[in-house]
Amino acid sequence: MTTIRHLSSILHRPIFDPDGERIGRVQDLVARLGDDPHPPIVGAVIRIEGRDLFVPVRKVGGLAEGRVTFEGRRVDLRRFERRPGELLLAEDLLARHLINLVRGRLIIANEIEIAEVDGRWEVVGVDPSPRSFLRRLLGRSSTDAARSESIVDFASIEPFVSHVPTARLRIPYRKLARLHPAQIADLVEQASHEEGEEIIEAVGLDRELEADVFEELDTPHQLEFLEGRSDAEAARLLARMEPDNAADLITEVDQERRLPILEKLPPEQQSKVRRLLSYNADTAGGLMNTDFVSVPATATVAVALEAVRDSTAPAASVQAVFVVDESGQPLGAAAMAALVRARPDELALAAARSPLAHVHAHWDVLRVARKMSDFNLTVLPVLDDEHQRMVGVVTVDDLLEELLPQGWRADFGPSAAEE
């Protein structure tokens, strides 16, 4: 049976020499981060007469029994200096935030578990439960054969390491990328500013993901992380956001920065954003996205589906393909489900719903919600006042976010994967 030890049962305990004489006490354990899901323990930091010294793990005995011993002939009296890639379990992890990549949320490491596996001591788990914090606070220790249900496998944990005074250890992008942008945004909002910056820096390796995460952040956090960026850097980020979200964010930026950022956007994005800024935020025009898919009345279902595949419009906007006549006047909307079920050689217009349910840019949010609800739609076209052309679409996700009360994210807690 694997022996599991709580870190708190080892910290500050005396360490004895081979003759049984006390020579100091255990200050911390050192683990090495790498490709191992359970980082190996490489040694201990012991305090002897006010000096912190390093002892390799091969010279540390008694971890399983709780009576720690020094099994070497002499102690290296050079002061401990951590190497790149090394973590101090107590100093760097205990009582600090960690990312649970399975649940997509932050936890506090109230206890660290280590275990001897095939002759090697490893960091195997984290206990975020209040019970473990209380046990550590009261100085109670134990050797657990049966693990608590609250234990999180360290293989699914990612520590924040920006505070570690060695070469920077980045949070691996590939791990964060498994989470939904909304979950990553929740992590950023729960974290301290420094921790949030570490997460943003990690996802910044993928500019599209970075933009998606920014779109999911609440406005105060968006502004917080834009504050430290130059106008050019801010524009580069907004260029990858959906135009409606970029327009919303520009209106929240300090007034003296709005125009400089706007002018640094790529021409096409700048044109879309300027158009959206001309509408009130609580109208269909303020909610709409200007990217959608339309095909001529002569297009077949196969052509319509190909247009969807070739489109760069967001997924929510292509839940329907809009059929237009030669002058660009909309004739109907073919839902994606209807197109998939139809024969490829059938006209897309035959699969379209007509007359076209629509709204106008000046309509308020409640009128938009009523129209979308009455017609059971997830994407709703916005027409000009003359009904001659489409100027954008309102999607149900944007409408829902507008209708939810201010601060709803905090009220309902973070997004998380199922247990």
pLDDT value of position 15: 92
Query: How far apart are alpha carbons 87 and 28 in whole angstroms?
Result: 10
What pTM, to 2 d.p., does this model score?
A: 0.75
> Which of 356, 308, 366 shows the shortest CA–CA distance to 333?
356
Mention every residue, 6+ apart, whose C-beta is less than 8 A from residue 47: 24, 25, 27, 53
pLDDT in tens, the chain (419 residues): 577 889 988 999 999 988 888 999 999 999 998 888 899 999 999 999 889 999 999 999 988 887 899 887 777 778 888 888 888 999 989 888 989 988 888 999 999 999 998 889 999 999 998 776 656 555 555 444 445 568 899 988 888 866 665 544 556 777 788 899 999 999 999 898 888 988 998 888 889 999 999 999 999 999 999 998 999 999 999 999 999 999 999 999 999 999 999 999 999 999 999 999 999 988 999 999 999 999 999 999 999 999 999 999 989 999 999 999 998 899 999 999 999 999 999 999 999 987 889 999 999 999 999 999 999 999 999 999 998 899 999 999 999 988 887 666 655 566 555 44
Other CB atoms within 10 A of residue 83 CB: 11
Q: Is the N-terminal amide bond of 355 cis, ω within 30° of 0?
A: yes
> Which of 253, 247, 288 shows the shortest CA–CA distance to 269?
247
Q: How far is CA 62 from CA 65, 80, 115, 116, 188, in A?
A: 5, 21, 13, 11, 41
- To 10 degrees, what angle do helices 243-252 and 255-263 make? 150
pLDDT value of position 318: 94
47, two tokens: 């305090």
Dihedral sign for Cα atoms in the order 55, 58, 63, 67: negative
**Long-range residue pairs from 347-354, CB within 8 A, at least 24 positions apart, any chain:** 347/297, 347/298, 347/299, 347/300, 347/301, 348/295, 348/299, 348/300, 348/301, 348/303, 348/304, 348/321, 348/323, 349/297, 349/299, 349/323, 351/301, 352/321, 352/323
Q: What is the 3-state secondary structure (H, E, C) of the chain?
A: CCCEEEHHHCCCCEEECCCCCEEEEEEEEEEECCCCCCCEEEEEEEEECCEEEEEEHHHEECCCCCCEEECCCCCCCCECCCCCCEEEHHHHHCCCEEEECCCCEEEECCEEEEEEECCEEEEEEEECCHHHHHHHHHCCCCEECCCCCCCEEHHHEEECCCCCCCCCCCCCHHHHCCCCHHHHHHHHHHCCHHHHHHHHHHHCCCHHHHHHHHHHCCHHHHHHHHHCCCHHHHHHHHHCCCHHHHHHHHHHCCHHHHHHHHHCCCHHHHHHHHHHHCCCCCEHHHHCECCCCEEECCCEHHHHHHHHHHCCCCHHHHCEEEEECCCCCEEEEEEHHHHHHCCCCCEHHHHCECCCCCEECCCEHHHHHHHHHHCCCCEEEEECCCCCCEEEEEEHHHHHHHHCCCCHHHHHCCCCCCC
Query: How far apart are alpha carbons 259 and 284 in whole angstroms?
Result: 24
Query: How far apart are alpha carbons 192 and 175 in whole angstroms?
Result: 20
Question: 69 - beta bridge partners?
Answer: 16, 61
Domains of the chain and CATH, by start: 1-91+104-150 (2.30.30.240), 294-402 (3.10.580.10)
Query: How far apart are alpha carbons 360 and 87 in whole angstroms?
Result: 58
Q: How many CA atoms lie within 13 A of 318 on its CB side?
A: 18
pLDDT value of position 3: 75
How far does Cα 315 stand from its chain's mean position? 20
pLDDT value of position 409: 60
Mention every residue, 6+ apart, whose C-beta is less than 8 A from residue 50: none
